[in-house]
């Protein structure tokens, strides 16, 4: 793929960028035009990305030119033509189009400066919509010619101007050579040469990715179909090449097989080292991947193949056979000649991604081992109880949890030996007969361990009831995640009034809740929720207290992770056949007996003999670990690419490099300017700073070298969609995609990732490469489009060999229509075990939500995390109740440095945080709407007050001096002077403290 000059390379075989002419391997064709790159010499946002340079050497007031432009865009006659005088740069208004089609344009214009050059812009557009989600709209034709000029055009005017070249605004926008279409006559002649053929093969080098699926490129007409291919690779290199298939008839189940590659003297590269990413591979979760390739009549399919040349391969010329075989059609062999050089490729060739060497990463299994990740501890199974960091889970004989316990103190800063039970009885199912309304009686044989290691324990159980069999396959991992596959098979016809699963929570534990159409906060007295997957990304809830909680989500065997962050409605949840039951199912939560019962019901149904339903569910036990408050006080993010000395002067310790800047220009593709990034990181390390970069997989920059190989995979990596968006996407990707984030300054246009796919393997390998070659200290995640499998792998590669592996997660508030009304905490809870900090975030309202919302949805504290605020700088008074500040320099008028100074002056390192939610907190106020959190050390305490009262108020402190260990007769209460926060003053121990609405105080008692 042609890339911008910043990362372009001279392409072999005569194709040169940066404004020089493009030749075609020494072959001359009468209509072969010269293609050049314009070095950004015009404004594409008003004139478009493409122009024809025309030379007029005639006389008179009318110039006629026939342009054989061979355009891939549809309906070119519906797009405006703008002609510019090259000498004056003035617009030529007297123009007339005689005919416009995809093959050529016949245009007459007034040569306003006489002889010389003129520019014909043929795809001008304007950007409508939001700047970061533009809609490139191509301008419609317009009539600007005067009637006098038009009538004066000679009726028999012959072409008297010539095409000098076709120019793109830069090399990245060029159509040459793979998007210059063949004419209808050329395609007809090609078919006449191959009568009766079902398909034609066009082997193609990796340097010319196949981009069009509906049109043959002119290059293929000139080369002709072939059954041989030649390439060259270094030892140890992953060598990629393409086989283009042009389907003259519809092709089904196209198979591709490989022979060994052998030299004349018998040396070999075995066929096991050769593969095709379109047909086989390894999924993101380490399962075998297979794909059936079908090609519609008249379509083109690129099959990307890779030869993994062994490092120890002997240099020489290797010959092998690749065989293409569609179902019911003749096989076609392709002879592959590969020259292996004596040179040893560096790092498998991965340092040269323009060679498509990194396509190998799509099938990586890196970091798939289930090794325990710090700070977690190995799982311990004793009798029927599984122990893990801060938690225990007992397993009932039917395979479901009998009890769940946590061992965190209410402060969340320590462990305790005293367990807190989450359940009043075991999690269980009820299958209720439609006949007598009674529960079916289940028989079980106990559960059996299937596998056990430090990171994961799996087990199964078989339960039977009249007419039903229930197979339970379950797993628990070291971070508190549990997965239950519950396969229910009808051994006879069974009519059921209802199927329910009960999670009976201890009433004291079920204090807070989020999910099921509820924002985070105190649990409502009654929840009555129904499935609505078309509109709502909701399939479960989190119920718990600060130091004990449980997330549950309901799924079936067809679950696919939906899109998030503005795109849920384009790929929503699939209604689980079992739990949803044609929308008869739902969930209620409320008091029943001694429990707060979460009751997942499904409604009546009939299961016929042999029917199978999957009542799968996931559980996550929270919290994950203790709060690391010292890390919160010492780790201070600077969220901007800026001069390192100025960053260090702020007191920040970690630099977050967003995308859209000099060292990380392309969204989620930090591999192009990596040398600049490495220089910056090396300099940062020398100054004692760490550097993290923006990199995730929700969307992918159009500057990715692998864009078109990934497009050849259909919808595996890129989601289906309506297309549109920025002009580059419309002009080169064409259609069937979702346009995502766009950076106007860099013309960086991203495409939405489809969800769980092999690009996640690439992502893990890419992170590993960045750690090893660039020295990144972690990543900044801006919402997440992958699941916990990928998150664990990322954490492993980021923390290898003693690297810090810091991960912070930003989320915009997902509780809205476009995101399916999902709580960000619910959506990302499976990732929380591997994060160092939350940044929740855009569209979070810090002014009009209760403290319980802050605690559950924003702070991260019930999960062992701490956070920061973003929207409008947050509320600094309320934030400090949870140990949060805003982040510099992201929000206007939101500078955390004054509070950082308080931390440093007070000496926050080593303090013990005791939140307002802790009953034994020794400092309280006499107004429950003005809670107090303390940060305690020997002989002193920092008190944070924040008001949620509806108006200005006065409060008094209720202090347990003995518990504080401070002599009240010698104590002082001081409000330090904090810029933009509070004016310094001293309060008496019993004084009324005035608190302004929505604000608060930082007080030091010592």
61 backbone dihedrals φ, ψ, rounded to 5°: -105, 10
pLDDT at position 626: 98
pLDDT tens sequence across 384-426 = 999 999 999 999 999 999 999 999 999 999 999 999 999 999 9
**In the predicted structure, residue 6 carries a pLDDT above the cut 80:** no
Strand partners, 978: 982
pLDDT at position 11: 33
614 backbone dihedrals φ, ψ, rounded to 5°: -110, 110
Share of residues in the chain with pLDDT > 70 (%): 97
pLDDT at position 315: 98
> Is the distance from CB of 422 to CB of 598 less than 8 angstroms?
no
**In the predicted structure, residue 10 carries a pLDDT above the cut 50:** no
pLDDT at position 968: 95
Alpha-carbon dihedral sign for residues 839, 843, 846, 848: negative
**Residue 24's CB: how many other CB atoms inside 10 A?**
17
C-alpha closest to that of 249 among 308, 327, 175: 327
Cα Dmax for the chain: 109
**In the predicted structure, residue 999 carries a pLDDT above the cut 70:** yes
The angle at the Cα of 660, spanning 655 to 664, to the nearest 5 degrees, equals: 60
**In the predicted structure, residue 720 carries a pLDDT above the cut 60:** yes
pLDDT at position 449: 98
Ramachandran region of residue 408, left (φ > 0), alpha (ψ -120 to 50) or beta? beta
**In the predicted structure, residue 24 carries a pLDDT above the cut 70:** no
**In the predicted structure, residue 830 carries a pLDDT above the cut 60:** yes
Strand partners, 888: 638
With tokens 């739990």, the residue in question is: 579
With tokens 């408050």, the residue in question is: 629
pLDDT at position 2: 34
Alpha-carbon dihedral sign for residues 24, 26, 27, 30: positive
User: Two tokens at 92?
Assistant: 């030529």
CA–CA dist 470, 489 (Å, integer): 6
Alpha-carbon dihedral 924, 930, 936, 942, rounded to 10 degrees: -130
Average pLDDT over residues 666-675: 97
**In the predicted structure, residue 650 carries a pLDDT above the cut 90:** yes
Alpha-carbon dihedral 980, 982, 984, 990, rounded to 10 degrees: 180
Helix, coil or strand: residue 316: strand
* Band of residue 28 on the pLDDT scale cut at 50, 70, 90: very low
C-alpha closest to that of 897 among 906, 888, 905: 888
pLDDT at position 892: 75
- 678 DSSP assignment: H
CA–CA dist 94, 375 (Å, integer): 74
Helix, coil or strand: residue 771: helix
> Is the distance from CB of 781 to CB of 746 less than 8 angstroms?
no
pLDDT tens sequence across 890-912 = 877 789 999 999 999 999 999 99
Consecutive H or E run containing 309: none
pLDDT tens sequence across 428-454 = 999 999 999 999 999 998 999 999 999
CA–CA dist 498, 411 (Å, integer): 42
Helix, coil or strand: residue 587: strand
904 backbone dihedrals φ, ψ, rounded to 5°: -70, -40
User: Two tokens at 876?
Assistant: 């600094």
CA–CA dist 823, 825 (Å, integer): 5
Q: Which long-range contacts (CB under 8 A, 24 or more apart) does 457-464 make?
A: 457/379, 457/381, 457/386, 459/395, 459/399, 460/399, 461/397, 461/398, 461/399, 463/398, 463/399
C-alpha closest to that of 547 among 424, 417, 418, 410: 410
> Is the distance from CB of 774 to CB of 681 less than 8 angstroms?
yes
pLDDT at position 14: 31
**Strand pairing report for 912-914 and 332-344:** unpaired
**Strand pairing report for 654-657 and 637-638:** parallel
User: Two tokens at 451?
Assistant: 């596998």
**In the predicted structure, residue 15 carries a pLDDT above the cut 90:** no
Q: What is the pTM of this model?
A: 0.95
CA–CA dist 238, 206 (Å, integer): 11
pLDDT at position 31: 56
Say which residue, 21 or 650, is predicted with more confidence. 650
Average pLDDT over residues 689-716: 97
Q: In what order do the strands lie in the sheet with 690-694?
A: 637-638, 654-657, 690-694, 778-782, 806-811, 837-840, 867-868
**In the predicted structure, residue 257 carries a pLDDT above the cut 90:** yes
């Amino acid at each position: 793929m042609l890339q911008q000059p910043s990362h372009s390379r001279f392409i072999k075989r005569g194709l040169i960028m940066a404004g020089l002419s493009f030749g075609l391997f020494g072959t001359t064709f009468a209509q072969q035009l010269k293609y050049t790159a314009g070095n950004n010499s015009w404004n594409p946002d008003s004139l478009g990305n493409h122009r024809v340079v025309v030379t007029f050497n005639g006389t008179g007031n009318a110039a006629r030119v026939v342009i054989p432009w061979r355009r891939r865009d549809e309906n070119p006659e519906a797009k405006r033509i703008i002609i510019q005088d090259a000498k004056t740069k003035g617009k030529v208004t007297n123009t007339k189009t005689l005919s416009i089609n995809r093959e050529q344009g016949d245009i007459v214009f007034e040569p306003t400066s006489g002889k010389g050059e003129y520019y014909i812009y043929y795809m001008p557009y304007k950007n409508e919509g939001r700047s970061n989600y533009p809609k490139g709209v191509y301008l419609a034709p317009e009539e600007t010619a005067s009637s006098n000029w038009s009538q004066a055009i000679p009726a028999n005017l012959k072409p008297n101007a010539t095409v000098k070249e076709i120019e793109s605004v830069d090399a990245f926008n060029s159509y040459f050579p793979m998007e210059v279409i063949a004419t209808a006559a050329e395609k007809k002649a090609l078919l006449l040469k191959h009568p009766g053929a079902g398909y034609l093969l066009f082997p193609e080098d990796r340097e010319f990715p196949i981009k069009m699926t509906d049109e043959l490129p002119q290059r293929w007409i000139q080369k002709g179909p072939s059954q041989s291919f030649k390439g060259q690779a270094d030892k140890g290199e992953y060598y990629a090449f393409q086989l283009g298939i042009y389907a003259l008839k519809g092709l089904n189940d196209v198979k591709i097989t490989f022979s060994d590659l052998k030299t004349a003297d018998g040396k070999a590269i075995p066929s096991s080292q050769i593969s095709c990413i379109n047909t086989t591979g390894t999924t993101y979760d380490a399962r075998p991947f297979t794909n059936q390739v079908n090609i519609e009549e008249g379509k083109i399919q690129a099959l990307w193949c890779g030869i993994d040349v062994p490092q120890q391969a002997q240099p020489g010329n290797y010959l092998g056979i690749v065989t293409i075989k569609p179902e019911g059609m003749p096989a076609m062999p392709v002879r592959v000649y590969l020259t292996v050089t004596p040179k040893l490729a560096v790092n498998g060739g991965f340092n040269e991604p323009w060679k498509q060497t990194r396509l190998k990463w799509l099938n990586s299994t890196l970091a798939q081992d289930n090794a325990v990740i710090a700070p977690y501890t190995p799982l311990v199974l004793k009798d029927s109880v599984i122990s893990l960091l801060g938690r225990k889970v007992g397993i009932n004989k039917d395979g479901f949890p009998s009890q769940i316990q946590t061992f965190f103190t209410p402060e969340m800063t320590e462990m305790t030996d005293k367990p807190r039970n989450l359940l009043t009885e075991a999690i269980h199912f009820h299958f209720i007969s439609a006949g007598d309304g009674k529960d079916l009686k289940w028989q079980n044989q106990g559960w059996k361990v299937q596998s056990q290691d430090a990171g994961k324990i799996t087990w199964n159980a078989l339960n039977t009831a009249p007419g039903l069999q229930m197979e339970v396959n379950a797993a628990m991992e070291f971070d508190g995640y549990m997965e239950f596959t519950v396969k229910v098979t009808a051994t006879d016809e069974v009519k059921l009034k209802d199927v329910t699963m009960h999670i009976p929570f201890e009433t004291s534990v079920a204090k807070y809740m989020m999910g099921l159409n509820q924002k985070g906060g105190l649990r409502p007295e009654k929840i009555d929720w129904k499935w609505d997957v078309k509109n709502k990304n909701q399939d479960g809830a989190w119920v718990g207290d600060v130091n004990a909680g449980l997330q549950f989500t309901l799924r079936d065997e067809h679950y696919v992770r939906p899109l998030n962050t503005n795109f849920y409605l384009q790929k929503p949840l699939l209604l689980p056949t079992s739990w949803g039951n044609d929308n008869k199912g739902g969930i209620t939560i409320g008091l029943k007996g001694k429990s707060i019962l979460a009751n997942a019901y499904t409604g009546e149904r009939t299961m016929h003999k042999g029917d199978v339903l999957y009542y799968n569910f996931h559980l996550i036990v929270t919290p994950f670990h203790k709060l690391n408050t010292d890390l919160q006080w010492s780790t201070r993010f600077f969220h901007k690419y800026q001069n390192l000395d100025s960053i260090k002067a702020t007191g920040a310790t970690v630099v977050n490099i967003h995308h859209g800047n000099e060292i990380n220009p392309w969204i989620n593709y930090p591999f192009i300017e990596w040398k600049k990034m490495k220089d910056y990181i090396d300099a940062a390390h020398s100054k004692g700073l760490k550097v993290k970069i923006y990199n995730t997989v929700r969307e992918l920059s159009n500057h990715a070298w692998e864009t078109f190989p990934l497009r050849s995979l259909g919808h595996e990596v890129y989601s289906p969609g309506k297309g549109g968006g920025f002009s580059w996407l419309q002009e080169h990707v064409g259609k069937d995609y979702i346009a995502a984030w766009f950076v106007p300054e860099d013309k960086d246009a991203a495409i939405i990732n489809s969800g769980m796919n092999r690009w996640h393997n690439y992502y893990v390998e890419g992170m590993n490469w960045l750690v090893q070659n660039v020295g990144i200290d972690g990543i900044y995640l801006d919402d997440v489009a992958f699941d916990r499998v990928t998150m664990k792998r990322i954490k492993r590669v980021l923390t290898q060999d003693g690297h810090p592996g810091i991960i912070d997660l930003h989320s915009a508030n997902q509780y809205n229509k476009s995101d399916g009304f999902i709580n960000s905490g619910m959506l990302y809870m499976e990732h929380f075990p591997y994060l160092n900090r939350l940044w929740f975030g855009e569209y979070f309202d810090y002014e009009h939500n209760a403290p319980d919302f802050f605690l559950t949805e924003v702070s991260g504290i019930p999960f062992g995390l701490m956070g920061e605020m973003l929207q409008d700088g947050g509320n600094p008074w309320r934030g400090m109740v949870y140990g949060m500040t805003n982040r510099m320099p992201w929000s206007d008028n939101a500078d955390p440095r004054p509070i950082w100074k308080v931390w440093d002056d007070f000496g926050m390192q080593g303090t013990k945080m005791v939140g307002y939610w802790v009953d034994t907190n020794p400092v309280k106020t006499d107004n429950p709407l003005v809670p107090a959190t303390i940060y305690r050390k020997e002989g002193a305490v920092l008190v944070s007050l924040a008001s949620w009262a509806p108006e200005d108020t006065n409060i008094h402190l209720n202090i347990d001096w003995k518990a504080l260990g401070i002599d009240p007769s010698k104590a002082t209460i001081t409000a330090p002077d904090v810029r933009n926060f509070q004016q310094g003053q001293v309060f008496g121990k019993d004084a009324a403290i005035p608190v302004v609405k929505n604000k608060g105080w930082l007080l030091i008692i010592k």
